[in-house]
Amino acid sequence: MNKAFKTKKALGQHFLVDEHVIERIILAVQPKKDQYFIEIGPGQGALTTHLLPYVRQIDAIEYDQEVIPYLSSYCKNLGNLIIHQSDVLQFDFNTLQLPTSSRAQRGLSGFENDIVYRVVGNLPYNISTPLFFHLLKYASHIEDMCFMIQKEVADRITAIPGNKDYGRLTVMLQYYCATEFLFTVPPDAFAPPPKVNSAVIRLIPFKRPPVLANNEQLFAELVKKTFNFRRKVLRHVVKNYITTEHLEKSPIDLSLRPENLSVEDFVRLSNFIEVHKKY
C-alpha cells in the first residue's frame, strides 16, 4: 500500500495489506490462464497484482478516481488489466469488452456473448447487499463470486433455517446461488483497520434454481413481507393473499415464523399462493 495515498472514510476504504490473507484468497479462487475476471473495488491492487499474472484479463471497476493512478502503476506490465472508473451499482456489465484479438478470434463483442466471468472483490461494507442483487441480473455470465465482506453479512448469507442470522438476504441469495463461508479475516489485515471482523465468502449462481418459484416477483415479495414481521407467525402475512379456506390447506405450517422455513419451503408457499391468491 502506498502510504502517500489517504484513504477516504466516506467510501468505506479499508485496503487489504496482509499477504497471508491475500494468499489464502488466491488459493481459494485458483485463477487460471484462460479465465476472465471482474474485480470490484481493487483499490491499490493488493489482489489485482496477485491475480493478473495468472489470468487472461481483469476488468477492474473502481469508483475513486484518485486511487486509479496507484492501481495502474502497481499493475503495470503484470497482465491485461482494463480499469473502469465507475460506481459499480450503476455499472452496466453488458459494456465489458474483450481484447481486440480475442473478439476477432471468437467473433464476439460485449458481455452479451458466451464469455463467463469470475468476480472477486474486497467490498465496501455499505454496498455489499445491493451489489449482490445488481450482479444477479448478470448471473448467466458469472461462474462464481468470491468476496471479502463484513463477517456479520457473511453469517447472514450462509445461515441455515432456525439460526438467528437467517433472514431475507439469506433466502434470496440462497435461492439464486450456492453459498459458502470460507474464512474469517481480522481487522488488522487492513489499513486502516475496520472496527469489525471481515470474512471471505463464495457465491456460485445456479444455472437453474434447484427449486423454482413460478412467480419470482411474488416469491421475493413474500420473503420480504414475512421477514418484515419476523417475530410473527406466517399466517399474519399469508392471510392477506389467500382466503381462510385456503389458509387451512397451505402446504406449509403457518404457525411457524419465517426464520423456520427453508428456501424450498418459501418456494412451495409462494407457488401455492400464486394458484390460490384472492386477486
pLDDT in tens, 148-203: 999 999 999 999 999 999 999 999 999 999 999 999 999 999 988 889 999 999 99
Tell me: domain 216-276, CATH 3.40.50.620, correct? Answer: no
Asked if residue 109 has pLDDT above 50, the reply is no
Non-local (6+) Cβ contacts of 33 within 8 A are: 54, 55, 56
C-alpha cell of residue 79: 497482465
Name which of 71, 89, 150, 82 is nearest 117 in CA terms: 82
Average pLDDT over residues 82-106: 76
Please determine, for residue 89, whether its predicted confidence score (pLDDT) is greater than 80: yes
Q: Angle CA(204)–CA(207)–CA(208) in degrees, nearest 5? A: 115
Grid cell 476488468 — which residue?
59
Task: Note the pTM of the prediction, 2 decimals.
Answer: 0.88
Average pLDDT of 116-135? 91
| CB 64 within 8 Å of CB 146 | no
Structure letter (DSSP) for residue 193:
P
Q: Which three cell numbers stand for residue 43?
A: 483499490
CATH 3.40.50.150: does it fit domain 9-205? yes
pLDDT band at 254 (very low <50, low <70, confident <90, very high): very high
What's the count of helices (H) and strands (E) in the chain, helices before strands? Answer: 11, 9
Give the separation between CA 235 and CA 148, rounded to whole angstroms: 37
Give the whole-angstrom CA distance, residue 244 versus residue 2. 65
Q: What is the mean pLDDT of the chain?
A: 89
Q: What band does 104 get if pLDDT is binned at 50, 70 and 90?
A: very low
pLDDT at 193: 87
Alpha helices in the chain (DSSP H): 19-29, 48-51, 68-75, 100-106, 128-136, 151-157, 168-176, 216-228, 235-238, 244-247, 263-276
Q: Any idea where the domains of the chain sit in the sequence?
A: 9-205, 216-276
Mean pLDDT for the stretch of residues 16-42? 95
* pLDDT, position 43: 86
Residue type, 13: Q
* Residue 82 confidence class, pLDDT cut points 50, 70, 90: very high
